[in-house]
Structure 1
Amino acid sequence: MISNNKLAIFLIIISVFCGTLMLTFLKLAQEEVNVYVAGFFRFLFGFLIIFPYMLKSKFTVFKTN
């Protein structure tokens, strides 16, 4: 089993890699399309990644106590 500290370090490294990759693709996309279109697709793909978690948790992340 992986310890919590090692898991946290692994997740941070993955998030930095994904953030850098996203910024690189965004720079490449903005050469071809409008900045608003590039921003729209950036948020759309982010939403598509988060949406399955939202469905699994049955939107409880949006409910307050």
Structure 2
Amino acid sequence: MRNKNRPLEMVTVGNRRFRGKTKHVGIDYVDIKDNNGKMLTILKDKIEYIDWKKERKDQERNW
């Protein structure tokens, strides 16, 4: 719960990269909201690693 709304870059199996902020975390999934406002649901068993980013003070800028 402490990582809710925290920016991240997630790499999945097949080397797909997703950037955004965490919204919902379930038992076997993670919902990510990207900078365009789209929600993505990624299954936890497909995640290779997560690169946690630092919060920015000016949230209007995309990272």
Give the structure-1-normalised TM-score: 0.16
Name the one with the larger strand percent: 2
RCO comparison, higher one (Cα < 8 Å, 6+): 2
More helix by share: 1
Report which of the two structures shows the higher radius of gyration computed on alpha carbons: 1
